[in-house]
Chain A
Amino acid sequence: MNRNGQVLLRVENLVKWFPITRGIIFTRTIGYVHAVDGVSFEIRRGETLGLVGESGCGKSTVGRTILQLHRPTRGHVYFDGIDLTQLRGGELRRMRRRMQIIFQDPYASLNPRMTVGQIIAEPLEIHGIARGKEARERVEELLRLVGLNPIFADRYPHEFSGGQRQRIGIARALALQPDFIVCDEPISALDVSIQAQIVNLLQELQERFHLTYLFIAHDLAMVRHISDRVAVMYLGKIVELADRIELYENPLHPYTQALLSAVPVPDPAVEARRQRIILRGEVPSPVNPPSGCRFHPRCPIAQEICKHVEPEWREIRPGHWVACHLAA
């Protein structure tokens, strides 16, 4: 949408390790899960950056660390020029109003003991923006905005279907009029016919309020549909990042190539002609990631150098970034 817009979010060399501990009274750290291991990217105002990769590769951790829901082990997150990693307490809370998150599981992410109205009004009250009648009016407006009937405000989450609960989650995220939303697999738990409803809603809201999205998903077709640019993650690293057309038509990283080739296309004529790159083995553990290029044990074109030297993150063409020794 906004190719040359102003940068809203800049992530610099972000690292998040989770300690693995043993012992109950005297806990000691015996290692780390390298969930995110040095990623850098920017998101422009009004843009959607898609983040894809297989389960456990660190996508949610990137999202949560950006919002400072996890504090990073290293690195910086600049939001509108301000380094969030340096903020504490009230300063951080004020910035957080502008950043929200929508979760995958619409069942688990809404408090079952609160009415829909209370759930949506909660952020307004926490931040002292609206109370009572005023909050109620805002809740009804938000419900209408996400395509729900305002009378639903007095009902409880269990009375709603998955798609409706996801709409409630979106209404809550919009309550504080944020600039930026991390959408963490917002449609993965929904049925196919409902997914399109939610994606269309997210796109309408983006246009209307000029929102900026980090859209995390493992459905590569949906990510292509919704994103302006797409980043591909593997084992804690971003291995490739490019414009949505460039990435899908000219993938340069062998992992991106394999991932794209693995996605089934709902057309038997296309499927019959397709060549799949079947990767060997499975994703290694993020506790001891492989040396050199992390993808080397599964890479169909790995060379000797790949085992020892980590590939540099390079801009191979304007806007097309990749980390692979052999990409050209």
Chain B
Amino acid sequence: MPPLLDVRNLEVRFFTRDGVVHAVNGVSFQLHEGETLGIVGESGSGKSVTMLSILRLIPQPPGRITKGEVLFQGVDLLKLDEADIRRIRGSKIAMVFQDPMTSLNPVLTIGRQITEVLETHLNMSPQEARQRAIELLRMVGIPNAAERLNDYPHQFSGGMRQRVMIAMALACHPQILIADEPTTALDVTIQAQIIDLVKRLRDELGMAIIWITHDLGVVAGLAHRVAVMYAGYIVEEAPVLELYHHPRHPYTLGLLGSLPRLDRRERRRLVSIDGMPPDLLELPAGCPFAPRCPYAFDRCWEENPRLEEIAPNHRIACWVDVQTGRPR
């Protein structure tokens, strides 16, 4: 079956006063029907810009999608005109952001914001839309849904607002839900509530999900497949068990080694990754991880490895086989 979403060689740049920010540098991945893909990476690694570019939401200027294709059910979203992409956004592909306050309109009631989506995308009458909005708020676990429709965003707590955002995202039964760090600003017990909710809705509605996070714990329990981003590249991608149990890219190994584990009583020194991520204004010619990589050798400084399949469904961008420590 062809993938639901097929992102090919996506490249995004920001042309700023300081120079060209190489935010996304040839990212390719696929998302299949009903699948949950986790994308992990540190701040600035290009996760949000990748997702915003898929929906053509990056500010232009300074941003520009300089290369690539985004095939959604075979149609290249990057070639659609503004009216067509708008029809896809929110109805076929919906997005939830880290900070719901920035995507909710502070001067409109929650009810108005949800019914507006329903009226424009699904041509519902105001009465139908209101009824459906109440159902949606109930579905995401907001008590007294009918009364809360009249409240403004600031009258909701962080966790509640994120539920409202999820309700709005699901209003038109999207085929893909893109969630960009939706629980990063929330406390763990509230994060657990939201993840529990998303898993339940995923099973009920059968949508595909792209879940972006910097927390390797969150995707471990949620994703079927995980892609790791570094400096605007996907550097490793594998089914979830494979990625955590047999990581093959030095950066993924480093990330997993630097995490303390709640379920381990023995205390070992954390293996930290030295240095810091590269400046995206001047990317090196070779592998972007080379300055921090314990496995780096001559070739790494000269040639940037491409993402290649090294085992079934397991892709890495690296010249070295970490199991032997020698070039592949």
Chain A residues with a Cβ under 8 A of chain B? 54-55, 161, 163, 191-197, 199-200, 203, 218, 220-222, 224-226, 245, 248-249, 258-272, 274, 276, 278-279, 282-283
**A274 neighbours in B (Cβ, 8 Å):** 221
Q: Which of B196, B260, B262, B276 contacts A260 (CB 8 A)?
A: B262
A54 to chain B, nearest CB (A): 4
Kindly name the residue among A193, A203, A225, A261 whose own CB sees the greatest number of chain B CB atoms within 10 A.
Answer: A193
B157 nearest CB across to chain A (Å): 6
Q: Nearest chain B CB to A320's CB is how many angstroms away?
A: 16
Is B244 in the interface zone, CB < 8 Å from A? Answer: yes
Closest CB in chain B relative to A164 CB, distance in Å: 8
Q: Please, how many angstroms separate the alpha-carbon atoms of A194 and B160 in the complex?
A: 31
- Measured CA separation A263–B214 after assembly (Å): 14
Which of A264, A279, A282, A283 has the largest number of chain B CB atoms within 10 A? Answer: A264
Q: Is B271 an interface residue (CB 8 A)?
A: yes
In this complex, how many residues of chain B approach chain A with their Cβ under 8 Å: the count is 44
Tell me, rounded to whole Å, the shortest Cβ–Cβ distance linking B18 to chain A: 14
Q: B261 near A221 (CB under 8 angstroms)? A: yes
Contact B216 A266 (CB under 8 A): yes
A276 contacts B42, C-beta separation under 8 Å: no
The answer to whether B188 touches A220, judged by C-beta atoms less than 8 angstroms apart, is yes
A260–B188 alpha-carbon span in the complex (Å): 9
Is B58 an interface residue when CB atoms closer than 8 A count as contact?
no
Nearest A residue (CB) for B245: A269
Q: CB within 8 Å of A: which residues of B?
A: 42-43, 157, 159-160, 187-193, 195-196, 214-218, 220-221, 240-241, 244-245, 254-256, 258-263, 265, 267, 269-274, 276-277
The answer to whether B244 touches A249 (Cβ under 8 A) is: no
Contact across chains for B260 and A221 when beta carbons are under 8 A apart: yes
Whether B258 and A249, one on each chain, are in contact in the complex, defined by CB atoms closer than 8 angstroms, is: no
- Chain A contacts of B42 at CB under 8 A? 191-193
A191, A267, A269: the one contacting B214 at CB < 8 Å is A191
Given contacts A200-B270, A200-B272, contact A245 B265 (CB under 8 A): yes
Asked whether A267 and B244 contact (CB < 8 A) given A54-B189, A278-B193, the answer is yes
Enumerate chain B residues within 8 angstroms of A272, measured Cβ to Cβ. 221
Q: Which of B192, B258, B269 is in CB contact (< 8 Å) with A262?
A: B192
CB-CB < 8 A to B263: which residues of A?
265, 267, 270
A58 and B214 CA atoms in complex are apart in Å by: 26
| Cβ contacts under 8 Å, B262 to chain A | 220-221, 224, 248, 260, 263, 265
Q: How far is the CB of B296 from chain A (nearest CB, A)?
A: 16
Neighbouring B residues of A268 by C-beta, 8 Å: 220-221, 240-241, 244-245
- CB-CB under 8 A from B215, the residues of chain A are 264
B318 → chain A closest CB, angstroms:
17
Q: CB distance B187 to A218 under 8 Å?
A: yes
Q: Which residues of A contact B259 (CB under 8 A)?
A: 192, 196, 221, 266
CB <8 Å contact, A266 and B220: yes
- Beyond A191-B42, A262-B191, A282-B190, is A196–B258 a contact (Cβ under 8 Å)? yes
Determine if A196 and B220 form an interchain contact, defined as CB atoms under 8 angstroms apart.
Answer: no
- Complex Cα–Cα for A83 and B258 (A): 40
A197 / chain B contacts, CB cutoff of 8 Å = 272-274
Per the bound structure, the CA–CA distance linking A192 and B189 in Å amounts to 21
3 A-B pairs closest in CB distance: A264-B217, A271-B221, A225-B260
Complex CA distance for A77 and B290, rounded to whole angstroms: 50
In the complex, what residue of chain A is closest to B259 when comparing beta carbons? Answer: A266
| Residues on the A chain within 8 Å of B214, using CB | 191-192
CB within 8 Å for A259 and B189 given contacts A196-B272, A266-B261: yes
